[in-house]
Amino acid sequence: MSRPDPLTRLIEQLQRLPGIGAKGAQRLAFHVLKTPREDVERLVDALREVKDRVTYCSTCSNITETDPCFYCTDDSRDHRMICVVEEPENVTAVEKTRDFKGLYHVLMGALSPLHGVGPDDLKIKGLLERVGKGGVEEVILATNPNVEGEATAIYLAKLLKPLGVRVTRIAMGVPVGSDLEYADEVTMHKAMEGRREV
Amino acid sequence: MPVYTSEALILRTYKLGEADRIVVFLTRDRGKKRGVAKGARRARSKFIGALEPMTCGGVAYYEREQRDLVRINYIEPSRSPLSAIGGSADLLGHVGYFAELIDEWAQEAHADERLYRLGSSMTDAIAQGAPVERLARYFEYWILRLQGVYPAIAGCPGCGEVFEHGAVMPPRDDVFLCRTCAPPAGGSALGSEALQFLKSCGAIAPDRLGSLPLGTRAAREIETVHRRLLNLHLDKELRSTRVLREMRK
Ligand SMILES: [Zn+2]
Ligand SMILES: [Zn+2]
């Protein structure tokens, strides 16, 4: 018996998701087939709503429902400080520490020669424009404490310093080689507190 | 299920599922392997700090029947490019370049101890903050030579003359000729300083590169011919080459 086309298409689409292989996609597809119609519709709605309502902030590239985002428009935050992170998830990690009251800039990755990610693939131009406009006094580089994150931080520091801004790098209290996405509050707090000028 | 332990060089990793990573590594004695490091992305994983490309260390893994992916028990890093943190962005960027080149040439299920030794000597040189430009040219020279595709640099295959005043790699060819034998136009030239550097590369360890002079112009000449040789033999341009070029702009 050959497999109905719609099922094949679903498996193909699921397989394109990160971390899902052929077997996983097949398992999920058969799960969808068994699931009551209302549940599937809720999933479809959620997917559509994410694409309709959630976007990236045109200033800092964080994920947001309104553009510019909540952080960029909040006057009670310190607009003289920008914390640079690799991914939107890292904003959450820094926010958890409750020490940082400045703004963010999400690079959408790190420089990765191995994976073909270069400066033009990251939101670096936007960062330089923000700092170039003036009013920013400190840029905190909170990229991951691994080879790629460090290369990114050094690369950015070289571009930012001529703009007359203080550039700092978070302390390596975060285990070297780790991913900030998984750092706990205490570690993240120590990293921010112990940041040093570069 | 037999457990293997080996010295190995980490080449690259990919995210797998929720918290795991696929690790590509070159063992000293059993070729290139791909394996799963369970939970590698969690905050307190035993793999933290052990999975950076070009990390050298002891790896224990077991092979599972009819599966391409081995299962990695542990990696005990002995030397790591993380020691170069604080170095230049160019040096850290080259970590990925070295790893990509080794990954391109290393074969699965085919032991290549010399390639392994070249890779691990690069890790040492990176950790010691070796001059990155010279290190990169040295590495390219050796990796091409280990593959048996480095053209002769002692003398001209056209007339047998010893290269005294430089050599030329003609367009669409992968040999070095003397200026008399080379076609009159085009090609990539190597001056005598560049040739001298390449000859010395064949005789010293990478940790001694600091004492080997290489001017900007000679370095560019070597980079150009190496780029041509690499693109020719790999039949493509490496991703890391493009990124490094963008980073230098
Ligand atoms: Zn924003
Ligand atoms: Zn000749």
Residue A16 confidence (pLDDT) above 80: yes
Residues within 8 A of B (CB atoms), A 94-123 only: 111-120
Q: Which CATH architecture group holds A74-197?
A: 3-Layer(aba) Sandwich (3.40)
Average pLDDT over residues A121-126: 96
pLDDT at residue number A3: 80
Number of Cβ pairs < 8 A linking chain A and chain B = 97
For residue A7, how far is its CA from the centre of ligand 1 (angstroms)? 40
Crossing angle of helices A88-96 and A185-193, rounded to 10°: 90
> Residue B60 forms beta bridges with which residues?
B5, B74
pLDDT at residue number A80: 97
Residue A177 confidence (pLDDT) above 70: no
Name which of A14, A112, A114, A190 to mutate to probe chain B: the one with the most chain B Cβ atoms within 10 A of its Cβ: A114
pLDDT at residue number B42: 87
d(CA B95, CA B157): 35
Ligand that lies nearest to the alpha carbon of residue B155, given by its number in the listed order: 2
Interface of B with A (CB under 8 A): 12, 15-18, 41-43, 48-53, 80-82, 84-89, 92-97, 99-100, 239-240, 242-244, 246-247, 249
A177 vs B96: CB contact, 8 Å cut-off? no
pLDDT at residue number A176: 63
Q: Which of A126, A28, A4 is nearest to A72 (CA)?
A: A126
Q: What share of chain A has pLDDT > 70, as a percent?
A: 95
Q: So where are chain A's domains? A: 5-53, 74-197
Name which of B243, B244, B245, B246 to mutate to probe chain A: the one with the most chain A Cβ atoms within 10 A of its Cβ: B243
Ligand that lies nearest to the alpha carbon of residue A61, given by its number in the listed order: 1
Please give the torsion angle defined by the CA atoms of residues B179, B182, B185 and B190, in that order, rounded to the nearest 10 degrees. Answer: -50
Query: Taken in order B47, A142, B130, B217, is the CA torsion positive or negative?
Result: positive
Alpha helices in B52-181 (DSSP H): 89-105, 113-127, 132-146
A117 vs B243: CB contact, 8 Å cut-off? yes
pTM of the model: 0.86
Residue B181 — φ and ψ, nearest 5°?
A: -80, -25
How far, rounded to the nearest angstrom, does the alpha carbon of residue B67 sit from its chain's CA centroid? Answer: 28
Average confidence (pLDDT) per 10 residues, chain B, 249 residues? 91 89 96 95 87 95 86 93 83 94 91 95 90 95 95 92 91 91 90 94 89 93 96 92 91
pLDDT at residue number A172: 66
pLDDT at residue number B184: 85
Q: Letter for the amino acid at A157? A: A
Tell me which fold the domain A5-53 belongs to.
Helicase, Ruva Protein; domain 3 (1.10.8)
Q: So where are chain B's domains? A: 130-249
Q: Is the Cβ–Cβ distance between B212 and B204 less than 8 Å?
A: yes
Using pLDDT thresholds of 50, 70 and 90, give the confidence band for residue A1: low
Residue A6 confidence (pLDDT) above 60: yes
User: Nearest residue on chain A to B11, judged by CA atoms?
Assistant: A114
- Chain B nearest-CA distance from A172, in A, is 10
Query: Taken in order A53, A58, A60, A66, is the CA torsion positive or negative?
Result: negative
pLDDT at residue number B129: 84
pLDDT tens profile A62-83: 999 999 999 999 999 999 999 9
Q: Please, what is the average pLDDT of chain A? A: 90
